[in-house]
Every structure is written in C-alpha cells, then in structure tokens.
C-alpha cells in the first residue's frame, strides 16, 4: 500500500495517459521523484545549452544555477550526476574545443584565441589545453591540420573533441587509437 502512495497524483505531478484494453484511456501517474528528476534534467539542459552557446562569456556556477532555477550547490551536484563532470569542466571542454578550431585556422595568436574563447589567464588556458589535448596550444597551432580537410565535420568533431582521461577521440596523443593500416598490409614491430 505504501508503494502505491508514491504513485498518487499530486497537484503538480506528472501523469501518463495509457490506452486500456477496453479502448478507454486511464491515467498512470509518474512517481513524484521521477517528475522532479525530469524537471531537474530540463533545467540542467537549459544551463548546459547556455554554456554551449555563450562559452566565451564570463559564466560561473551561480549564474548557471540561476538559469537552472537551483541553488549553486544543488546545481553542481545535479550537473555532475547527470553529465559526469562538473559545470566548470564542461564549460572548459567547450572552450578548448572551440580554441582547437580557432588554432587550426592559424590566423590568430594563442593569446587572441585564449581571450576569444572566454579565458582570462593565458597560463590557465595553456595548462588546461595541454591537459585535454596532449600538446601545448602553440604546438597544436603549428601542426599541419590539412589531413582533416576532407573529413565530414560531424566525424571530425567527435574525433577531435577534447576528453579527459585519454578516452578514445581525445586526450593525450599516445592514448588515441593507432592510425589505420594502409593498403591492407600490417607493419611489423620493427617498421618493415
């Protein structure tokens, strides 16, 4: 009986309409904890979308929490639970992702890129860039990026997205999967 009380409709509760076998419709209320969790996810998505759009703006946890209609502490805990990283880490990943695109173009200095993506400290930017990408911003800028010119942008974005912990598609270069073998021939350990 107590388990059924969790499904009792509440004034602000969420209900799902289902078709009954007799052709009528009845309402199956969603437990209030699920409705609250869904509402939290919607608000968290709003804050995450703001970070994606306004990554170059000076955003902090308090401002993002206001967008999500949550306290800063609840917002940080909920964001980490939903997306697997802190709001700050998510924002910095977006900034580094954009910085990589600007550095590949080659027409801006590292300092200009740092400021363009919303970072105020060149040292912090360079440290975070090196941590996520595996090389310094200036080394990344100097490298030839023409090999990705024919790759569709959706594939390039997933392959070049900075990811913590050296997961495939990002992280340090030595953690990335090996390049595919050309002409169907495998190379031996000595390179022959």
Instruction: Give the pLDDT confidence score for residue 131 in this predicted structure.
Output: 93
Whole-angstrom distance, CA of residue 5 vs CA of residue 53: 42
Instruction: Give the pLDDT confidence score for residue 144 in this predicted structure.
Output: 78
Helices 72-83 & 87-105, crossing angle to 10 degrees? 60
Q: Going residue by residue through the chain (192 aa), what tens digit of pLDDT does each one get?
A: 444 444 444 444 444 444 444 444 544 444 445 666 788 899 999 999 999 999 999 999 999 999 999 999 999 999 999 999 999 999 999 999 999 999 999 899 999 999 999 999 999 999 999 999 999 999 999 987 777 655 555 555 555 566 655 544 444 444 444 444 444 444 444 444
DSSP for the chain, written as a single string: -HHHHTTS--TT--EEEEE-TTS-EEEEEPPHHHHHHHHHHHHHHHHHHHHHH-TTS---HHHHHHHTTS-HHHHHHHHHHHHSS-HHHHHHHHHHHHHHHHHHH-SS-HHHHHHHTT-S-HHHHHHHHHHHHSS-HHHHHHS--GGGTTS-HHHHHHHH---GGG-TTSS-GGGSPPPPPGGGPPPPTT--
Indicate the pTM of the whole model.
0.61
3-state secondary structure of 27: strand
């Amino acid at each position: 009986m107590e388990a059924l009380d969790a499904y009792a409709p509440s004034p602000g509760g969420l209900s799902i309409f289902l078709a009954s076998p007799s052709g009528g419709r009845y309402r199956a209320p969603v437990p209030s904890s699920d409705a609250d969790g869904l509402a939290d996810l919607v608000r968290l998505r709003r804050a995450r979308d703001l970070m994606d759009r306004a990554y170059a703006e000076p955003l902090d946890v308090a401002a993002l929490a206001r967008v999500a209609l949550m306290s800063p502490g609840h917002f940080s805990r909920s964001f980490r639970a939903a997306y697997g990283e802190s709001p700050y880490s998510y924002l910095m990943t977006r900034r580094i992702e954009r910085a990589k695109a600007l550095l590949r173009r080659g027409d801006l200095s590292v300092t200009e890129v740092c400021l363009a993506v919303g970072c105020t400290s060149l040292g912090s930017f360079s440290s975070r860039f090196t941590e996520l990408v595996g090389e310094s911003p200036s080394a990344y800028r100097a490298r030839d990026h023409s090999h990705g010119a024919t790759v569709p942008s959706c594939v390039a974005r997933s392959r070049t997205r900075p990811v913590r912990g050296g997961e495939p598609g990002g992280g340090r270069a030595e953690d990335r999967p090996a390049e595919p073998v050309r002409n169907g021939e495998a190379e031996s350990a000595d390179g022959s």
